[in-house]
Amino acid sequence: MQYVVDKDPGEREFHQAVSEVVESIKPVMDRNPQYRRAKILERLTEPERVIMFRVPWIDDQGEIQVNRGFRIQMNSALGPYKGGLRFHPSVNLSIMKFLAFEQVFKNALTTLPMGGGKGGSDFDPKGKSDMEVMRFCQSFMTELFRHIGPDTDVPAGDIGVAAREIGFLFGQYKRICNQFTGVLTGKNLNWGGSLIRPQATGYGCVYFAAEMLAARGQSLEGKTCLVSGSGNVAQYTLEKLLEIGAKPITFSDSSGYVYDEEGISREKLQFIMFLKTMRRGRVEEYVEKYPQAVYTPSNGNGNGNWPWKHRAYCAFPCATQNEIDQRDALTMVQNGVRLISEGANMPTRPEAAAVFLDSKLIYAPGKAANAGGVAVSGLEMAQNSMRISWPKEEVDHRLRIIMKTIHETCLDAAAQYGQPGNYVMGANIAGFTKVVDAMLDQGVT
Ligand code: NDP
Ligand code: 2IT
């Protein structure tokens, strides 16, 4: 850890992600001296390639705007670099590296042949017109195209990047390269996308929670659930929870959160989807339509006033990193929360994760619980290579099997190292050993 911190002292989020993995894999390093000799941790924490670039574009007023673009090609031991693009004003090198690092282990767990990468920009899509977003995406791809390709690096969506942005990015790649290939995933259905990809992260996160409960003779049916976020992952987490008969009572955006004691019905979810995806509005508007619900604005700095203080059995953090702090975790434990399935990447701060683990909660880290999104991206790549599309039942079936396999893999790895039921250790150990064994096979790279 000291080596990583000394090399890049300012990269707080990256240190946090590395530290969690390093803690978990201590016993693996002790049992396998060849890993230490191979300098495996020094190699794993150094991205294979970091690309940073200028993204100039012209806004609707004719003014020139300049953003920064990133692509971190972290590790290609298991396949082409694979991972999303995030467009959010908070994006910086540390956040990109933490996401790319997590992605390496997550992708290893999916069973599919994918290396790990991540990219994005500090561009803020909020309040931008479709034409501004298009001009930005075209400029972004005008540099990115030379670094990616269907066998090299296959980006997809993340915060602020969904079907609209993937369309603009794909169109520009195709123009520049004169090739119609599976260079991006999350494409729309009629031009190479996969059924179930939009739903996959949220559905997968709920399937993972269902597996964790099934292993303990329980089910999600009738369970009260806290959900944060209201974007892609949160929406389909809510949808699957409703389908399974659970009772979700909260959701949020960066301005605040909504608590609906009666429960969020299918009709209400339709409204949320329309509000957030079509109208690009704020969750506050929900309480105008459903006045029995309560809206609590956030305190302005993106911290605090998350939906974590309500009584529930399960929690699905689906917004962003570090959205659960130690105080939230203690409150959750006190209020009866027994299961956490992370839809977002690293939503739990380390001190909060320690509370969950000490209190023996059923706690799945993002790299296991939210792997369904990238897994179906892997299935989209497979369909593109074969030039066919599977029906939704086929993709959903494969997604379920992948989530079940990840669950078993985590439990097996945790048990092997004397930590039964510890999904954090299980996910880190299983992902780590798969990647580093491939790296050792491939020589000093
Ligand atoms: P979206 O952009 O669709 O939605 C993000 C949601 O989180 C919005 O409700 C947004 O609020 C809220 N949010 C984002 N940043 C903040 C912040 N700093 N403070 C408070 N709220 C915030 O993104 P996704 O749903 O795709 O992604 C959500 C999480 O899931 C991320 O951690 C992402 O990395 C992870 N993930 C996504 C996958 C995917 O396939 N899309 C796959 C695996 C993980 P607002 O509307 O105000 O911006
Ligand atoms: O964090 C993630 O796994 C994603 N944003 C999805 C990546 C992908 O390539 O589908």
* 256-259/250-253 β-pairing: antiparallel
What residue's CA is closest to ligand 1, atom 2?
159
| 83 Cα nearest atom in ligand 2 | 9
For domain 47-180, is the CATH number 3.30.70.330?
Answer: no
pLDDT tens-digit profile of 218-250? 999 999 999 999 999 999 999 999 999 999 999
Q: How many angstroms does the Cα of residue 160 sit away from the middle of ligand 1?
A: 7
Tell me if 47-180 shares its fold with 200-369: yes
pLDDT at 301: 61
Amino acid at 350: P
Annotated catalytic residue, options 118, 187, 276, 434: 118
| 233 Cα nearest atom in ligand 1 | 25
Q: How many angstroms does the Cα of residue 320 sit away from the middle of ligand 1?
A: 5
pLDDT at 171: 98
Annotation says 118 is catalytic? yes
Q: How many angstroms does the Cα of residue 403 sit away from the middle of ligand 1?
A: 21
Interacting residues of 95 by C-beta distance below 8 A, sequence separation 6+ = 13, 86, 321
Domain ranges in the chain are 1-45, 47-180, 200-369
Whole-angstrom Cα distance, residue 143 to residue 334?
A: 50
pLDDT at 303: 57
Q: What is the CATH number of domain 200-369?
A: 3.40.50.720
List pocket residues of ligand 2, CB cut-off 6 Å: 82-84, 103, 106, 156, 158, 185, 345, 373-374, 377
pLDDT at 306: 87
Whole-angstrom Cα distance, residue 139 to residue 426?
A: 41
Q: What angle do CA 209, 210, 216 make, to 5 degrees?
A: 100
The widest CA-to-CA distance across the chain, in whole angstroms, is 63
Q: Is the CB of 414 under 6 A from ligand 1?
A: no
pLDDT at 299: 77
Q: From the centroid of its chain, how far is CA 345?
A: 5
Q: Which residues of the chain have pLDDT under 70?
A: 300-305
